[in-house]
Structure 1
């Protein structure tokens, strides 16, 4: 056969394969010429070649490693994209082609021989290996492979995906470590108090305080028991020596019987440690005396020793942050937050308690960073307030949060204005940059104190609110509504009180503003269809999810509007709802519905975010429909129905709701 072009009658050409053969036709010998149209076949071949090239270009740009190998046991590499080369620490494809896959991998945390086991569908999923990199860098990789077969069912090649999962492994290891810490803490708290005792020291009540202090120093204790003959009658501690001897300037010859703490509070040695801790708290004392069943004294224990378990709690993280000498130390302490939140969420802690802990930690971070900034650039030239807005301003932060903050400072003469503005801009930029390093990302909308517009004197801030209340549209308020949820984190709280008074006076005379606020809140949609069933996104980057933040935003918006109208300065959503109930602005039934709905949604939000972290993914607000059980889905649909009723109330604002 020979390729040729046939000229058609219409003047066009057709690609063909010409064939010629000799035949006998009766007594004649003839030549038979055949022409087979191959234009479609060639077009398919060209498109296939183009498709292969596009495939090669696609895999070369992917951030995940893609390989093709021969079948086992050697798995000789036939193809590898650039991401695979980067993962292996190689630069040229020639360094990997024809090499065995296991030349580059070793079993992670195992001395067993390398092996890949395929299931009945010819797939091996998420096998964990350690990459052998020439640089010595430790990289953990996840490998998934699928068998490629020919028409006879024979395995002819293996395609694989290989991905760096080092960060996910680190997160898993950190999670396990914290779980161990928490379990250790719980085990400690449930041990008998007698198991936590060490040696104790005692002296007669006639012993001089100087001698008693020497005994305490020798034994390395902070307390000494006082005897009267053989009976224990009192206790002297470091604190008592300071308060009752040094502060009163008593001589060292004073007898301990004159200053001792009495009577003693006893607990049996078989009591659990957490029971002893509760007794210390209940009696508001620092020391307990431990005795056995025969009333013999076994020792003394302090609340400090008992509550050392707090290192596994949020309080320990807060103390570490307050004591931090650098931003790096704050980063290390703050890293524990997500695991603490998981432990709280798993144990059934209330959502408002979780948000309170997150808020307290973020406030502590900010306070320490402000102190560090002032230490670095000097004292502020005038009074100021560093404020938070939005979720942080409401004390409702979750594990998905960026910065929403601002600075208000005192009005000054024009002669000082440039100097003051320069100081606070430098001050705010330093703090916002540090916050980003700690984990509070820069705001995409630039609502941060480092943005000059949001670092202004009090007079400018008043003009902002006057403009927003008097002239804004619902679309404008979508961007700036969070400024109506503000609180002072550091500095002079009078600026915040002054702004609240200013807003209250304006809002009372600008009823149309509340209408605009309500319309802004209604821009968020409820993920529920006409039949009251949960509706999820059908396309885009978040298929089969709904945005739980947008759902909660409608409760937040409702509380914000009513709080502004009734002049409430509190910013937290649940506290606003509670105050609205107390002022008879809403009925008890509505209050209960809102509180229960809000709490459930926040609990679900935390659960989803913790799940994302466990999977090595950044937390977000897009809840997958498959994360929710059938019963939870029914409850959620009921809550969404209640929020729809809340939306109807909001749609009446400016007509006959709140005012007529």
Structure 2
């Protein structure tokens, strides 16, 4: 190999772990050993059961998909991009591959002879640690600055409910063989058992199946207050049903479930349901111990708050927590779930406090989060976007009723503003009389937007169609959603306008694969990642689920997952859209925290070459989904 080629190989390898831990001499030694392989699209790098190759691989160009023996429909365990390492198994385990690696597109791989690399492996402690951690933790890059990736999912199986994202978190440790009690035992017996074993909870079981849980808090609440007697049965004070999980649950999954359900314990059963044998109990304390940064603590603080100043500190703590999660390379799905759960609870508490201060509402109402909050995708501090729906009232009571809710919304908006959520420049807030309406008026408003489609009305639909209940009456939310689906059903003209709006931003790359940047204004020469890359995916997912009449799916990722189930022929594209959405969202979040902005505009000159390549790779699904929209909704004549 000529020196100039060796130098090029060395320059590439030194950008990625573990090669960035090599000395200059070690790096050049490896580069001299490299064999370059061109792999055509859909060709195998190796198959399940193949004898181990005498080299492992680094992706220099392209992408390699990893799948299990169950992946006969190409359901990828993971995708390896530039700089990723694969084929490490021969270093540490049996000499046959336990998975298959297939070129998702034309690839150039660097093959590094295992025997030659072993010389470095046993002399360079950092490299040895990296490879051992990678194999032991089952990730292709335990030091990654983004999603770590799976080398092999030990419990992987292709099922109908399979999620597209992998479990990147450590398995949660739970208490085996927990102390249980029958439902007809006395409260006194429960208290004595807790004291004897120095525990704070007991699972209540029948025939080894969980039927409830009792905690020391329950005993204090019912017995210490005199409402119940120690001779009463535990089934009278136990909490039910019990939330059950399987033994494979990760710390992150357990944390999210505790957060969403506002509970302190999870029951571990053989199959994760309440219809199988109890094998353990997982407490909030277990999660706290496993992960120091614990959003459950923030949730508890929210529940105790009575002052705005305390809410500000909690919102600041959430920002620090999310930024730490990004630094820790936790996957975007988990970061978004934690952010959404805490933000929703924070807003719920603000509305609750404001209503208490103002006095009980005259009729039922629901506070709607719209836009990114409505989709559960908000991470950064962005503009306020919300609306309010109240129950229908007689005409002579309407003005007084609306006045109350406008006062409530104003109080809430003021607190949100203090927390850092600035007022919406377009005043799309519940404090605006246009967006604080009765249920019937909201139905009338949506009907006008849908029946008289125009550029302005479609823009309003794009914002207000993504709504979720933050506080109040669920029935009002349901009625409004059913009305919308009824109005759009079969309305081809409406979908044509909605599709045109979804295509208003062209693909993010120009003819020569150059980034399309802003030409003038405050953000001249910067890249608008929201409008040019993220929003097209959001808009496409929305119009497609509306056209398929898929209800109850507001989140962009959940929408694409549902579409992937309904359209197997487009499954790979929809899954690629999910991956791109997470990649782009992470770029925006990192930029936002770094610059203390909304993260919308990227300064491309400050991105590394590798980051630019990742961005460009994330743009391909944007182009593909926009092409699908053009064909499906016959939009060529609109453009």
TM above 0.5, yes or no, is yes
Q: Equivalent residue of 2:387, what SS?
A: strand
- Correspondences of 1:497-646 after superposition (within 5 Å): 497-550=478-531, 551-569=533-551, 570-584=553-567, 587-613=570-596, 618-646=597-625
Choose from 437, 444, 448 the match for 1:456.
Answer: 437
Contact 1:474 1:519 in 2 (8 A): no
How many pairs are equivalent? 399
Instruction: Kindly indicate whether residue 385 of structure 2 is the aligned counterpart of residue 369 of structure 1.
Output: no
Aligned equivalents of 1:307 and 1:642: distance in 2? Answer: 37
Separation in 2, partners of 1:381, 1:606: 40
1:249 Cα offset (Å) = 3.6
**Which residue of structure 1 aligns with residue 326 of structure 2?**
345
Shift of 1:398: 2.5
Give the Å deviation of 1:572.
0.5
**In structure 2, C-alpha distance between the alignment counterparts of 1:654 and 1:302, rounded to whole Å:** 49
Is the contact between residue 369 and residue 387 of structure 2 (CA under 8 Å) also seen in structure 1? yes
Greater Cα shift, 568-577 or 306-315: 306-315
From 421, 432, 450, the equivalent of 1:469 is 450
TM-score (norm 1): 0.54
Q: Is the 8 A contact 1:559 1:577 kept in 2?
A: yes
Higher Cα Rg, which structure:
1
Q: Aligned with 1:505: secondary structure?
A: helix
- Residue 416 of structure 2 aligns to a residue in which SS? helix
* DSSP 3-state at the match of 1:531: coil
Gaps of 5+ in 1: 1-188, 194-208, 225-235, 253-273, 285-300
1:654 alignment partner in structure 2: 633
Counterpart position of 1:205:
none
8 Å contact kept, 2:451–2:494 = yes
Structure 1 pair 624–415 and aligned structure 2 pair: CA distance change class (3 A): same
Question: Any conservation in 2 of the 1:518–1:653 contact (CA below 8 Å)?
Answer: no
Shift in CA distance, 564/586, structure 1 to aligned 2, threshold 3 Å: farther
- On the 8 A contact 1:532/1:641 being kept in 2, the answer is no
Residue number in structure 1 paired with 2:427: 446
- Quick one: distance in 2 between partners of 1:656 and 1:304? 52
Q: Is the 8 A contact 1:317 1:334 kept in 2?
A: no
Q: Residue 490 of structure 1: SS of its match in structure 2?
A: strand
**Which residue is equivalent to 2:307?**
326
For 1:307 and 1:493, how far apart are their aligned partners in 2? 31
Residue in structure 2 matching 1:493, options 469, 474, 488: 474
Counterparts of 2:422 and 2:457, CA distance in 1: 24
Counterpart CA distance in 2 for 1:396 and 1:406 is 18
Q: CA RMSD in A?
A: 4.0
- Is the partner of 1:423 in helix, strand or coil? helix
Q: Deviations over 1:436-480 (max 9, x none)?
A: 111211111100000001000111111111111111223442344
Q: Which residue of 2 aligns with 1:418?
A: 399
8 Å CA contact 1:555, 1:598 repeated in 2:
yes
Pair 593,368 (structure 1): closer, same or farther in 2 beyond 3 Å = same
Q: Is the 8 A contact 1:321 1:333 kept in 2?
A: yes
Distance 1:474 1:311 in 2: 48
Q: Distance in 1 between matches of 2:583 and 2:633?
A: 30
Q: Distance in 1 between matches of 2:344 and 2:200?
A: 36
**TM-fit CA distance, 1:537:** 3.1
Cα distance between partner residues in 1 of 2:284 and 2:371: 38
Match of 1:120 in 2: none
How far apart are the structure 1 equivalents of 2:231 and 2:616?
74
- 1:490 positional shift: 1.0
Deviations 1:397-441 (A, max 9, x none): 121411110111111112211221111111111111111111211
Between the aligned partners of 1:389 and 1:329, the Cα distance in structure 2 is 25
Change (3 A) 1:539 1:424: closer
**Shift in alpha-carbon separation, 1:509–1:369, aligned structure 2, 3 A:** same
Please say if residues 512 and 654 of structure 1, whose CA atoms lie closer than 8 Å, have aligned partners that are also in contact.
Answer: no
Q: Give the whole-Å Cα distance in 2 for the aligned partners of 1:565 and 1:322.
A: 40
Query: Mapping of 1:261-280 within 5 angstroms?
Result: none
1:393/1:487 contact within 8 Å kept: yes
Would the aligned equivalents of 1:367 and 1:490 in 2 still touch at CA under 8 Å? yes
Render the CA deviation track for 1:327-370: whole Å, top value 9, x for unaligned: 11111111112211111111111112112122112211111111
**Distance change in 2, residues 1:536/1:378 (3 Å):** same
Whether the aligned pair in 1 keeps the contact of 2:336 and 2:378 (CA below 8 Å) is yes
Residues 1:439 and 1:237: Cα distance change in structure 2 (over 3 Å): closer
Inter-CA distance 337–473: structure 2 relative to 1 (3 Å threshold): same
Is the CA contact 1:608–1:623 (under 8 Å) kept in the aligned structure 2? Answer: yes
**Contact 1:400 / 1:619 at 8 angstroms: preserved in 2?**
yes
User: In the alignment, is the contact (CA less than 8 A) between 2:417 and 2:423 conserved in 1?
Assistant: yes
Change (3 A) 1:248 1:315: closer
CA distance in 2, matches of 1:400, 1:431: 16
Deviation at 1:650, TM superposition (A): 2.3
Task: Identify if the C-alpha distance between structure 1 residues 241 and 420 changes in structure 2 by more than 3 Å, giving closer, same or farther.
Answer: closer
Spell out, residue by residue over 1:121-152, the C-alpha distance to the aligned partner (whole angstroms, 9 max, x if none). Answer: xxxxxxxxxxxxxxxxxxxxxxxxxxxxxxxx
Could you tell me how far apart the structure 2 residues matched to 1:384 and 1:508 are? 27
